[in-house]
Amino acid sequence: MLEDMRPAAAIAFFQFVINCARIAAGQAAPEIVIWEQDGSPMIRIPAGAFEMGLTEEEARAAWQEDTALWAQNLKAAGWPAPRLEDYLSATPKHRTSVSAFLLDQYEVSNAQYRKYVAATGARPAEYAGDPVLGRDEHPVVGVSWRDATAYARWAGKRLPTEAEWEYAARGPTGLMYPWGGILEATRANLPVELSPDEYAQSAPRGSFSAGASPFGILDLCGNAMEWVADPFDARYYAHSPTSDPPGPATGEFRILRGGGWKYFHSPAIYRSAYRAPRYLGDRAPFAGFRCAADDRMDGMEF
Ligand SMILES: [Ca+2]
């Protein structure tokens, strides 16, 4: 009898050790709340700090790595050559803290966006009728920054700030991709030139569970690129506030994060630090979003 229990006790102890290690590494089971207005599962991201952006050395190394990849197999597929200046807009690397907030675990879906359109009379997404891009469980795409902001307001939420989005993707240790340091094609819905999988276009949200960020957020890399709230300023990081940076006050361009299912620009866009400026009225077939909300429980005692 005792003999039988030993393995179980050992397994329980082993599990306990793993859980302690996961909690110590910031990988405790995510705290999920369901947002009533649009039914989205949202994950509570505790207040924290990380090294936001890239050092110039990292930016140059990334550019060189991407240029080699481009010459090897992307040049022939028609991708443009990576431009160093695009990598440098993520410099300098700077310590940034963010307050606790909630972030949608998934990108906003077509089904959710359709409910919003039906409830408000807002214009449908550009690809709502597309046989693949318009599927209910795929991320809504073909929405402008203004469209995304209006949806978030209707839902009682907001777009994440650039700092919140990057912290959610990189975690306290500042990972280069949501899962680690190397772009792995099986962990995200990438363009066919990088990942020849079953999804030639967008994929149902959450199809790549191995691509979860340290907080358990899915599809931050790939599938739909994601609008964030801030206007774009290539030099903003040189003088941005160290705590909850709100972005510059104005700007013609907003920012897309995380890369999408369709090629756009260069492999750099799949890095969590990369900033892709885009005209705020643009409705691209790879551009969607997810919502954030303030954490009203932050600082409360129980
Ligand atoms: Ca995404």
At residue 207 the predicted structure's pLDDT band, cuts being 50, 70 and 90, is very high
How far is ligand 1, taken at its centre, from the CA of residue 17, in Å?
Answer: 33
How far is ligand 1, taken at its centre, from the CA of residue 13, in Å?
Answer: 37
How far is ligand 1, taken at its centre, from the CA of residue 115, in Å?
Answer: 21
C-alpha distances out from residue 161 to 13, 158, 293, Å: 41, 9, 10
How far is ligand 1, taken at its centre, from the CA of residue 81, in Å?
Answer: 23
**Per-residue model confidence (pLDDT) at position 236:** 97
Residue 287 near residue 225 (C-beta atoms within 8 A): yes
Residues of the chain above pLDDT 90, percent: 80
The rounded distance, in Å, linking the Cα atoms of 33 and 17 is 27
Tens of pLDDT, residues 39-48: 999 999 999 9
At residue 4 the predicted structure's pLDDT band, cuts being 50, 70 and 90, is very low
Q: Kindly tell me if the per-residue pLDDT of 230 is higher than 50.
A: yes
How many other CB atoms sit within 10 Å of the CB of residue 58? 17
C-alpha distances out from residue 46 to 18, 33, 57, 152, 290, Å: 21, 14, 30, 21, 18
Closest CA to 155 of 122, 130, 202, 204: 122
Q: Which residue has the tokens 């807002």?
A: 122
Ranges of each domain in the chain: 9-301
How far is ligand 1, taken at its centre, from the CA of residue 167, in Å?
Answer: 15
Q: Considering only the top CATH level, what class is 9-301?
A: alpha beta
How far is ligand 1, taken at its centre, from the CA of residue 91, in Å?
Answer: 22
Tens of pLDDT, residues 49-98: 999 999 999 999 999 999 999 999 889 988 889 999 999 999 999 999 99
Q: Kindly tell me if the per-residue pLDDT of 118 is higher than 60.
A: yes
Q: Kindly tell me if the per-residue pLDDT of 36 is higher than 70.
A: yes
**Structure-model confidence comparison of residues 104 and 300, the more confident one:** 104
* Angle in degrees, 0-180, between the axes of helices 145-154 and 110-120, rounded to the nearest 10: 70
Residue type, 184: E
